[in-house]
Structure 1
C-alpha cells in the first residue's frame, strides 16, 4: 500500500492545478493543499531513498510506480453497475502477497532486468479475476487492473463518481485518530501486530503478516495509506463537482 501515497501525490498535484481560487476562502484552501503537497513531496523523497537502501529488490521491481507521474487522474466520471455487486463474499482473503507482487512485476516488465512487460500468466489471471474476494484481496485486484490499464494503454480512483458518498467520507473521517491524525491506532490491533512480529522473530521461516508496519505513534501504515488514498480521491471528485464546466449537461 506504499504505492497509494504516490497516487495521492498525483491527486494533490491535480487538485492544486485545477483549484478554483476566485475568492479568499478558496485561495486559503488551495494554500493549505499546497502546504500538504510540499510535505508529501519531501516525505516520499525520503521514503523512496530509504526503500532503495533497505530493500533494493522491492525498489527495483516497483520503481516505475514510485512516482506520481505514473498515476493517471480520471478526467471524467462514470458510475458503477449495481448488478455486478457480489451477492456474498468469501469469509477469508483470497490474496497471496508473493503472487500478487509477482503478477505486478510481470505487468511492469520488472520481473527481471530488461524483462518483457504486459505478461499475464494463468495463476495471475485466475487470482485477479476470482469472484467474491473480500476487502484486502479485492483492493489488490483493483490495483492490478488499474496498473494494467496505465501500462497497457482502485472505485473512485478509477473515475467512478458513486464511490464518493458523503456518508462514506464521514465514516472514514470518524476512523481518523483525533490526536495524531492517522488511522488504525487501536491498542488491540497494535498488540496483535507486535505479537506477530515477535512470532516472526522467533520463527523466521514462518510468514505471518503482510508488509504491515506499525508507525512510532502506534498507527497502522496500511490502514493509513488506504484511508489517505480514499481522501485524495474525494478531494479530486469534489473539486470537479464545484467546477460547473465539468458537470454533465443533463
Structure 2
C-alpha cells in the first residue's frame, strides 16, 4: 500500500536515479510521471510496530486497522446522502472482508474479541449500504441501475488461495501513454454485467471491449480498470471465450500494478498517487495477490486518514504539490472523475472507498493467513506460487 530502494521478487526495482534516467528518454510521452519522480521525498517516520512479536503484532495491527475502519464508517454515516457509487462499492467490499475476518477469528478463542469487533462493524456497515442505495436511486438512478450488481450481497468473493505477482510480466519501459476513458470502461463493464438497455445477459463482450481490456502496455487507472473487468468476469462466473484466460490477464495486470506501487513508494507516495496506490491494493488483493499486503504500505495508508473526519483524500500538505497534481492527471495517470465526490474539507469519496477496501484486505489476510514464525503456512499457497513468504505484515 524499509523505504528507499525497493525490490520485487526476481526483479530489482531501479533506484530513483535510474528511474529518472530512463524516464527522461520518454519525456514527451509522460511528462506528468517525470515531474512526480523528480519530487523531493517526504519525511517518513520509522515503524512503530517493528519491535512487536508475531502474536502481539498481529493483534495490534488488526486493532489499528479496525479503529481506522470504524472512523471511516462514521464518515460514511455522517455523509451518507452525498456518497457516490464508488464510495458505496468500497464499503460493500469492506463488509465482505469484515465477515471473512469475523469468521476466521471466531475459530480461535484468543482472537474472539477481534471477531466480535469485526462483526459489530459489519453489522453497522450493512444498513448504511442499504440506505445509500436509496440515496443513489434519487441522485443517479441510471448509473445505479447499470452497476447495481456490484452492490448486491454475494457479488464480491474473497480469495481462498494466495499467490504472488510475477515480475517477469512487467511491461518493458516506457509504458504507453495512458489514454483512459471512464466512459469507454463503463460501457464495457455494463456489457459484462448485462445491465445495458440492449442486453440483459451477463458476460457480454464486444470487439471494442476485447481490444480495450486486453491492450498491453497500459498504466494508471486504465490498467486498474482492465483488471477490474476480468475480476468482475470472475465474480459473474464468465468462463467462455476470452474469459477462459481471465487469470492470465489478472496476473499480467497485477504484476504491472505492483511495479507501479513500488514506484509510488520510491517517490514517497506523492499526491495524488495515493488514490491509485490504494486502488491497486484493493483490486489485486481481491485477485489473491498477497504481496500487495506489506506492513509498510499498511502504515502509509493508515497515516493518510484524516483524524477528525475519518475520510481519505487531499493531504494536509497537498497544496505543496498541486503543480504535480495537474500534470499527473493530464498525462501519466489520468482519471476522468465524472462522478467523483470531492468534499470541501478535502475528503474524497473515491479515495475513502479504495482506502477502506484496501484496509479491509489487510484485515482479512491477517485473519485468513496462519503464521508460522512470521511466515505463511505452506498450505495456503496456491499452485505455482512463489515459496518465499509474501506476508510482509509481521517481523
| 1:211 matches 2:339 | yes
Aligned ranges 1:72-87 → 2 under 5 Å: 72-87=157-172
Gaps of 5+ in 1: 193-207
TM-aligned CA distance change 1:106 to 1:21, over 3 Å: same
Comparing 2-11 and 85-94, the one that deviates more: 85-94
Aligned ranges 1:195-234 → 2 under 5 Å: 209-215=337-343, 217-234=345-362
Aligned residue in 2 for 1:247: 377
**CA distance in 2 between partners of 1:92 and 1:173 (Å):** 31
Gaps of 5+ in 2: 1-85, 240-282, 323-335, 380-386, 388-395
TM-aligned CA distance change 1:15 to 1:240, over 3 Å: same
TM-aligned CA distance change 1:88 to 1:238, over 3 Å: farther
**CA distance in 1 between partners of 2:116 and 2:364 (Å):** 16
> Which of these residues, 115, 123, 130, is aligned with residue 208 of structure 2?
123
| 1:175 matches 2:304 | yes
**CA distance in 1 between partners of 2:116 and 2:126 (Å):** 15
| Matched residue count | 233
Aligned ranges 1:52-91 → 2 under 5 Å: 52-88=137-173, 90=175
Aligned residue in 2 for 1:198: none
**CA distance in 2 between partners of 1:40 and 1:159 (Å):** 24
TM-aligned CA distance change 1:90 to 1:176, over 3 Å: farther
TM-aligned CA distance change 1:90 to 1:181, over 3 Å: farther
| 1:31 matches 2:124 | no
> Which of these residues, 171, 178, 184, is aligned with residue 313 of structure 2?
184
**CA distance in 2 between partners of 1:124 and 1:135 (Å):** 18
| Offset, 1:135 | 2.5
Q: Is the 8 A contact 1:9 1:68 kept in 2?
A: no
| Offset, 1:185 | 3.5
Comparing 229-238 and 212-221, the one that deviates more: 212-221
TM-aligned CA distance change 1:158 to 1:227, over 3 Å: same
**CA distance in 2 between partners of 1:12 and 1:30 (Å):** 9
**CA distance in 1 between partners of 2:308 and 2:133 (Å):** 27
Higher relative contact order (CA 8 A, sep 6+): 2
Give the match's secondary structure for 2:360.
helix
